[in-house]
Structure 1
């Protein structure tokens, strides 16, 4: 008797290529390498501690998370081309979690930067009131150097637009990595486990006890990762299964 995941109803887009003309495997490799280079900055961030520079709790956790993601990528990227179901699944989960965490950190840093800018604009007004001048009429020398909301408005809007665009691109890359991991799992099930199914619309679990990948800690890890969003990872519709079988046949023919 199979247990339906509470997230099995979730419909996640499944890209079938990267940018429309590159295979999911190549796209996953490129996206992972780009993230690897990006996370390498986490090591340099931690090295700043040796210079005596103080880091906030937010910065320290961000750098430590970068080191963890960097180590995971170093292990999983070589297995992408080998189409290892467990490594591709771990890579997809790490990339997805890192995407949401990075978005949260970006939002926190952007909010702090915006609040600091607002306070910098209000500071000359407060100084003018302390000197007995009307609010909004700061001394000429202060007004010439203090930032104004009118001047910072376009820059702030442009920065926010860039953050939104890069965040959307990052989410698309996340979908690509997840789609490739799903394709690898379904291809493995089609090749090694035949047409055995756990449910009418769900493929068999390759990490289940007694399955080819279900032994030891790797099997337990695979089952844990598949337990969330099971309907996505193992199929969900007949046309998805047909597509996975077609992909599996193409892999077999190219290998032969």
Structure 2
């Protein structure tokens, strides 16, 4: 279970140490909408006759699907719906993995193109670039060779001299690998890789924030709807796990929403339902969570209720007590 749980996941209580988790999630959702709307423009480009590869087309369609799901789930952030907030967090985490695969695929394809054209410069990149590319064999070679060998051949007739013939040849079989390495480690490529790595580090932090907010919403829901209404972990067979709000015996566990909720909580159960420092998970709720049942409760009521349920409380009083008899009532009876 340790391999599939999220025990080592960070559990932040604020966004950038300055804002609540809910505010951070709303800002992250805004970045998702801006990012995924590019799929809409990609589909529009197809209508104009622009040619795209199957990989690009699949990315555009996938972006539209994620855009629609994000718009639907985003309205439940303020409502703090546990199922929808969990779904939004998992959607963002899965989207991060899929985007990483797309980025790797496009990056490898780009570096392969650079390796196949190591000295090619695009015409028009700078003023006079086309003329330079046409006249300079080094910037835009007519023949793609790695070296030139000069071979002397005897001339016809009287041998008064020799002609020099240039013969182009490629290097050994390691040229493609060397070309790929030079394409990856050139200055422009290293800068691009550095920027992409920094952006992905920020993306991973956003994933942690999304999961932390969904966890806080889930635990708030458990606290408010717990069967015992005493602590977060009372009502569950295990003292180390909170009560699953999507259990089949509960109202939220009925139908396909219950199955979906149980599936999402099953991955990393210790993270979602495991014990935490008392009150730590409520810090990221923006001060919105106040349990009304605990504000007006009489001290000691919860403790007596807990002991009554566990059978460790004092013995119950007898069902009926003898009614007190006064002297006047005795005299009247005589």
TM-score by length of 2: 0.64
What per-residue deviation string (whole Å, max 9, x for no partner) do you get for residues 138-174 of structure 1? xxxxxxxxxxx59x81111100000100011011001
The equivalent position to 1:171 in structure 2, one of 204, 222, 230, is 204
C-alpha spacing 1:49/1:213, structure 2 compared with 1 (3 Å): same
Could you tell me how far apart the structure 1 residues matched to 2:115 and 2:285 are?
Answer: 56
Change over 3 Å in CA distance of 1:247–1:23 after alignment to 2 = closer
Matched, 1:153 2:186: yes
Give per-residue Cα distances to partners, 1:151-207, cap 9 Å, x unaligned. x81111100000100011011001100100000000100111133224221111111
d(CA) in 2 for partners of 1:89 and 1:166? Answer: 24
Equivalent residue number for residue 46 of structure 1: 43
Aligned-partner Cα distance in 2 for 1:28–1:196: 30
| CA 1:245–1:204: 2 relative to 1, 3 Å | farther
Secondary structure in structure 2 of the residue aligned to 1:132 = strand
* 1:81 Cα offset (Å): 0.8
Q: Which residue of 1 aligns with 2:105?
A: 108
Counterparts of 1:65-104 in structure 2 under 5 Å? Answer: 65-104=62-101
Flag the structure with larger Rg: 2
1:59 match: secondary structure:
helix
Cα drift, residue 57 of structure 1: 2.1
Residue in 1 aligned with 2:309? none
TM-aligned CA distance change 1:73 to 1:198, over 3 Å: farther
* Equivalent position of 1:244 in the other structure: 281
Shift of 1:105: 0.9
How far residue 216 of structure 1 moved from its aligned partner, in angstroms, is 1.8
> Are residues 70 and 245 of structure 1, via their aligned partners in 2, closer, same or farther at CA, if it must alter by over 3 Å?
closer
Q: Which blocks of at least 5 consecutive residues in structure 2 are unaligned?
A: 121-140, 149-165, 172-181, 296-334
TM-score by length of 1: 0.83
Matched-pair contact (CA < 8 Å) for 1:5–1:227? no
Partner of 1:126: 144
Aligned residues: 239
Note if 1:26 corresponds to 2:16.
no
- Quote the Cα distance in structure 2 between the aligned partners of 1:202 and 1:66: 36
| Contact map agreement 1:202 1:231 (CA 8 A) in 2 | yes
Higher relative contact order, structure no. (Cα contacts within 8 Å, ≥ 6 residues apart): 1
Cα–Cα, structure 1 residues 167 and 9, in superposed 2: closer, same or farther, change >3 Å?
A: closer
| Residue number among 250, 259, 263 corresponding to 1:224 in the alignment | 263
Q: Which runs of 5+ in 1 are unaligned?
A: 137-148
Give the structure 2 partner of residue 140 of structure 1.
none
1:238 & 1:222 partners in 2: Cα distance?
21
- Partner Cα separation in structure 2 for residue 106 and residue 249 of structure 1: 35
Cα 1:231/1:159, change in 2 over 3 Å? same
Q: Secondary structure at the match of 2:13?
A: coil
Q: Using the TM superposition, give the Cα deviation of residue 20 of structure 1 relative to its aligned residue in structure 2, in angstroms.
A: 0.7
What SS class does the counterpart of residue 79 from structure 1 fall into? Answer: coil
Post-superposition Cα deviations, 1:226-247, rounded to whole Å, max 9, x if no partner, equal: 121111122x2342x5423677
Residue 37 (structure 1) aligned with residue 34 (structure 2): yes
State how far apart, in whole Å, the 1-side matches of 2:276 and 2:20 are: 22
In 1, the alpha carbon distance for the partners of 2:111 and 2:43 equals: 26
